[in-house]
Structure 1
Amino acid sequence: MNGQEQIIATDPGSDSRFFSWFYELSPKERRTFWSCKIGYALDAMDTQFLSFVIPTLIATWGITKGDAGLIGTVTLLTSALGGWLAGILSDRIGRVKTLQLTILWFAFFTVLCGLAQNYHQLLIARGLMGFGMGGEWTAGAILIGEVIRAKDRGKAVGMVQAGWAVGWAMSAILYALMFSLLPAEIAWRSLFLLGVLPAIFVIFIRRFVDEPEVFVEQKRKQDSGAAQASFAEIFSPDMISTTLRAVLLTTGAQGGYYAITTWLPTFLKTERHLTVLGTGGYLAMVILGSYIGYIVSAFLTDRLGRKKNFILFALGSMSIAWTYTHLPVTDSVMLLLGFPLGFFTAGVFSGMGAFLTELFPTRIRGSGQGFCYNMGRAIGSLFPFLIGWASQDMSLGYAIGIFAAMAYGVMIIAALTLPETRGKQLEA
């Protein structure tokens, strides 16, 4: 090897058996895979608890919907900053150590949410929890992306990403269990207190998961006198174009996701007067669609390539947004539409971790990946506000459609301009 990162040829036909790659992994690679996947599922579980207890908090503490919405916005913004900082930290102290720290962080502050005595204490605890929530994705995505070989990287990282749907389902099940066994004023606290469970998982990571060899080699070179990389290098003349286009890609994906998932339930309930949205069946369809969307997209990102897969799922997300906001639907049709909604809006993220891993060299991979994904999250979090503002002068459904189309359009343009990285061999 000449020390440069290269593109190696891959045969798409060799990927025909989706799970064959997993059986070829070494024990070390399998431990890393499961650690990242379970860690991401536990991250999602702790994160999703809030969405289930908001009605109880409104009834118990008398807070407004605006107060509840502020908690969600603050969490998104702190998670964006946390993901950015975790990327920088992972380049300094290592991917595995950063993963452990972020899991302990969000577990600790999730427990504090359950101990909060008033709205402001909950707002602060939840905001601090966001730092770990965003940081865990960054550290885990880099770790699994560097461990898995090039031809299977998209599938592996996508399967890890699918852990989000698993954690979402876990939070729904625990919510149903706690609220069926305990009074509501105690059940919501018990749910957050269960957020301590991820901290126990850190023991496994600490004992069985090692740093990727490509990162260890990079650190060895730096320790022997090679130039130390800095976060600012992602804005150097050689990298700034890639960095900015990657930010546009992630902004489009996350802006579109927030545009649809934040306002769509309100639109369907207030303007279409549908009742199925509040049922467990509809939620189950969305979660199932999300999980299958992650898996199918994970396969296709290695099969079709990163760029084509992004464009395919972006177009699918645009189509489902148009269908929801323009076609007349009944409760039964809406129940079925929950599946493609989850499938496309979640599947669009499946190849993101592998793609960002491949765009940046090892010495600044954490900094680049952490900044691009989480800057996109921060900008994308503005879309719900913009839709609410625009809906004062136009119908809510029209505003959702416009902003979703804009977001996914930006994503498609960014994907077309970025290089195809499928099969990229990572070298120190």
Structure 2
Amino acid sequence: MDSKTVAAPAADIEQPGATGMFAWYADTGPRERHAFWSCKVGYMLDGMDTQMLSFVIPTLVATWGISLADAGFIGTLTLLTSAAGGWLAGILSDRIGRVRTLQITVLWFALFTGLCGLAQSYGQLLAARALMGFGFGGEWTAGAVLIGEVIRARDRGKAVGLVQAGWAIGWGAAALLYAWLFSVLPVSLAWRALFIVGLVPALLVLAIRRYVKEPEIYRQARAAQKDNGEPPRLVEIFSPTLLSTTLRAALLTTGAQGGYYAITTWLPTFLKTERHLTVMGTGGYLATIIVGSYVGYLSSAYLTDRLGRKPNFILFAVGSMAIAFAYTSLNLSNSAMLWLGFPLGFFASGIFAGMGAFLTELFPTRVRGSGQGFCYNFGRAIGALFPFLIGALAKQYGLGTSIGLFAVAAYGVLIVAALTLPETRGRELEST
């Protein structure tokens, strides 16, 4: 029989120490801590490598004379390949193991980020960045499944959310590296050096290889598969037993990522061109968003265990809707816009902190990687289309209205999906 999930006793969920943001860490052993830090550092470096492109786009436009559309296409293609890479990594993690897949994906995105710095033409950069996307998407899936299976049920949301928070730290690291390299090197070399620094994550593979072990529940599931001769199949997540869960979980992630891309991709352009605000291009505004993102991740990680998975998603979706309304409908000053960057990062990023734990708990162990990889990256692929659709609709309805419509629709879909899915807070993962 496949792995299954069962609800933990309520007393276990509310046990003293279980609700503290960091108290759970003291009760973990070396296996859990090694997995936690490997995944967290992996997410930090993943975020750092991924965000580098946003900082060098103006330099590429000026140096190579490419259009904004060409520059934007690099980002879109990276998102699409990352969606494919995430699904593939999920399948691999069920077949060859969570840890081995994590090693492969980290090495992959580090290698191709470094190669971006050696590109001699737009076509070479596009190819290197697209290939980097496979590893960037795959690392999220492998890391989320690994940490979700290693940490006990009552602390899973906090632990996985804290790992996810590494993304904001990586984003901040990319911003600091950009500021430093562009201050000490000529522009023609600085952007290349920034990408080449992206090779550093490859060193993490050495630590993962030495210290991180496969989760015990996965080892049990693999042993059972060998005994009965039934390896996991790709189409299993679309079987009658799991199809409804797969579709609803895919809608949940589509809402989260579609809303995120709807707000973050076009807001700077809207506020610069239609509201004529200058704060958008400042380092202070970027820093405010990054700090808001990190605090949002931490808060959501705590609340997803405290309130439950579904209430937490709905809370952050409503907050994101409110932010989209404020940005597109209110007449805001530069000062107000600067401070609004904090709740923008808080809600739009924080909503993702509970995603890994929730998807881990929705799928049985034998196909957990496939299910989690497909659902999260289906959402990423569809969400990547939102910026294009908003741009097309803006010709008729205006950019602000289009952003608002798509944001409300996306988060509305998330809320509906969350209401129809089961609550999984405190659910134990078992293999039989």
Cα displacement (A) at 1:221: 1.1
Q: What SS does structure 2 have at the residue aligned with 1:5?
A: strand
Q: Does 1:152 align with 2:136?
A: no
3-state SS, counterpart of residue 257 of structure 1: helix
Return the offset for 1:3: 6.5
Alignment of 1:384-395 (within 5 A): 384-395=387-398
| Structure 1 residue 16 displacement after superposition | 3.8
Aligned partner of 1:377 in structure 2 is: 380
Q: Is the 8 A contact 1:75 1:126 kept in 2?
A: yes
State the Cα distance separating 1:50 from its structure 2 match: 0.4
Are 1:208 and 2:211 counterparts? yes
Cα gap change, 1:256 to 1:4, in 2 (>3 Å): closer
How far is 1:4 from its partner? 4.1
Deviations 1:297-356 (A, max 9, x none): 000000000000000000000000000100111111111000000000001100000000
Cα distance in 1 between the residues matched to 2:350 and 2:310: 13
Q: What's the CA shift for 1:407? A: 0.1
Q: What SS does the corresponding residue of 1:426 show, helix, strand or coil?
A: strand
Aligned amino acid, residue 51 of structure 2: Q
Residues of 1 paired with 2:15 and 2:317: CA distance? 24
**Matches of 2:228 and 2:408 in 1, distance apart?**
49
Structure 1 residue 231 displacement after superposition: 1.4
Q: Which of these residues, 19, 23, 29, is aligned with residue 20 of structure 1?
A: 23
| Correspondences of 1:406-421 after superposition (within 5 Å) | 406-421=409-424
Correspondence for 2:96 among 93, 97, 100: 93
Q: 2:279 — aligned with what? A: 276
Report the aligned-residue RMSD: 1.0
Q: Is the 8 A contact 1:81 1:374 kept in 2?
A: yes
- Written as runs of structure 1 = structure 2, the 5 A alignment for 1:228-307 is 228-307=231-310
Q: Take 2:339 and 2:201, find their aligned partners in 1: how far apart are those partners?
A: 33
- Please say if residues 286 and 342 of structure 1, whose CA atoms lie closer than 8 Å, have aligned partners that are also in contact: yes
- 1:37/1:161 contact within 8 Å kept: yes
CA distance in 1, matches of 2:89, 2:192: 28
Structure 2 unaligned residues grouped into runs of 5+: none
Percent identical: 68
TM-score by length of 2: 0.98
- Alignment pair present for 1:116 and 2:112: no
Query: Which of residues 37, 59, 65 is equivalent to 2:62?
Result: 59
Which letter does structure 1 place at the counterpart of 2:355?
M
**Mapped partners of 1:226, 1:211: distance in 2:** 21
Q: Secondary structure of the residue that 2:20 maps to in structure 1?
A: coil
Change (3 A) 1:82 1:3: closer
Q: CA deviation at 1:370?
A: 0.2
Amino acid at match of 1:346: S
Where do 5+ consecutive residues of structure 1 fail to align?
none
Contact residue 3 and residue 365 of structure 2 kept, 8 A: no
Q: Which amino acid aligns with 1:25?
A: T
* Counterpart in the other structure of 1:104: 107
Alignment deviations for residues 4-34 of structure 1 (CA, whole Å, 9 cap, x no partner): 4210123447444221101111111011100
Q: Deviations over 1:354-389 (max 9, x none)?
A: 000000000000000000000010011111111000
Choose 8-17 or 234-243, whichever is displaced more.
8-17
Q: Is the 8 A contact 1:12 1:302 kept in 2?
A: no
TM-score, normalised with respect to structure 1: 0.99
